[in-house]
Copies of this chain bind each other. A is one copy, B any other.
């Protein structure tokens, strides 16, 4: 469209009376030109309103200054992923990188020339974009392990098993003797780890497991139906741990409708914290996954891989925490 609206390097060079090489070096501060010419060229460039064509630069230098980011399709509305994205963007901006959101439409077979590397948040085994990216030759960092059979360049992990154990111990010491678990699907490493941890904990403590699994991205009505059914079927249940993001908040009305009092005859906890859980009555105990830090850690690890500072196969640990609130005081 607007042809020739922007001035290019040659024009700057001409106006400054130097070669295009010198102009390029001056503007990139390569340390090759004298201070005097550098200042001169920069002044001319500013006067002409020059901005470098990053596409041309990418083509020549074969590095794009951009990282890709892909998240599960089904996330719908989730504070966790929003914070995760912000963490990635924030760290990328610090390194002077842009972030491109990658969707299903155009992942090529071998090389994704538009980005220098990719961050995958909670890669689903079933996601074709994830598979495409892992099979392409661009470096990939995942948040949580990929449970399929391709290897990312590096992984950021958290100790979900240990933290859920702590949560279950906490419930037990608050008096719970029959803890139910609203589980997330095993299609992610996170969901799978939580299920296993719950089942093993029950075994160790001689507690009969009461687990209901929900598909990733289930609508709230389904979560509510499950909990309603669960409370009806097993009136002895005196604590409930909710894994899917948003499920703890969503089932509050159902629990109230069942005549239970949260924090007293039914302890409630969530595997994903959110601001909503701060303000409920009572506030709900939750695992703090520190999504913003997770995003930043993934981006940083990707940059370390790209620069060679971190070797392929690096697994980096992200600490997470348990925030106890009134819903589990017992």
Flag if B275 contacts A249 (CB, 8 Å): yes
* Stretch among A78-86, A166-174, A314-322 lining the B interface: A78-86
Interface residues of A in 26-71 (CB under 8 A from B): 46, 49-56, 58-59, 64, 66
Interface residues of A in 135-179 (CB under 8 A from B): 137
Flag if A114 contacts B55 (CB, 8 Å): yes
In the assembled complex, A200 has its CB within 8 A of some CB on chain B = no
**Smallest CB separation, A12 vs chain B (Å):** 12
Interface residues of A in 59-113 (CB under 8 A from B): 59, 64, 66, 76-79, 81-83, 85-86, 89-90, 92-94, 96, 98-106, 108-113
Flag if A114 contacts B281 (CB, 8 Å): no
In the assembled complex, A253 has its CB within 8 A of some CB on chain B = yes
Flag if B279 contacts A249 (CB, 8 Å): yes
Complex partner residue of A49 from B110, B275, B279, CB under 8 angstroms = B110
> How far apart are the CA atoms of A249 and B46 in the complex, in Å?
49
In the assembled complex, A256 has its CB within 8 A of some CB on chain B = yes
In the assembled complex, A2 has its CB within 8 A of some CB on chain B = yes
Flag if A78 contacts B82 (CB, 8 Å): yes
**Smallest CB separation, A87 vs chain B (Å):** 12
> How far apart are the CA atoms of A266 and B51 in the complex, in Å?
56
> How far apart are the CA atoms of A276 and B2 in the complex, in Å?
46
Taking CB atoms, residues of chain B closer than 8 Å to A100 are: 66, 98-101
Complex partner residue of A106 from B55, B81, B98, B274, CB under 8 angstroms = B98
Taking CB atoms, residues of chain B closer than 8 Å to A76 are: 86
Flag if B249 contacts A276 (CB, 8 Å): yes
Flag if A59 contacts B51 (CB, 8 Å): no
In the assembled complex, A261 has its CB within 8 A of some CB on chain B = no
Flag if A252 contacts B275 (CB, 8 Å): no
Flag if A89 contacts B103 (CB, 8 Å): yes
> How far apart are the CA atoms of A281 and B101 in the complex, in Å?
37
Beyond A83-B77, A275-B249, whether A101 also contacts B99 by CB under 8 A is yes
> How far apart are the CA atoms of A235 and B78 in the complex, in Å?
36
Flag if B64 contacts A55 (CB, 8 Å): yes
In the assembled complex, A6 has its CB within 8 A of some CB on chain B = yes
In the assembled complex, A263 has its CB within 8 A of some CB on chain B = no
Taking CB atoms, residues of chain B closer than 8 Å to A81 are: 82
A contact set with B: CB distance below 8 Å? 2, 5-7, 46, 49-56, 58-59, 64, 66, 76-79, 81-83, 85-86, 89-90, 92-94, 96, 98-106, 108-114, 137, 220, 246, 249-250, 252-253, 256, 274-276, 278-281, 283
Contact sample, A vs B, 23 pairs, CB 8 Å cutoff: A5-B110, A5-B137, A6-B110, A7-B110, A46-B109, A49-B109, A51-B110, A52-B108, A53-B59, A53-B113, A54-B113, A55-B59, A55-B113, A77-B83, A85-B101, A96-B106, A98-B101, A99-B101, A101-B101, A220-B275, A250-B278, A253-B283, A275-B276
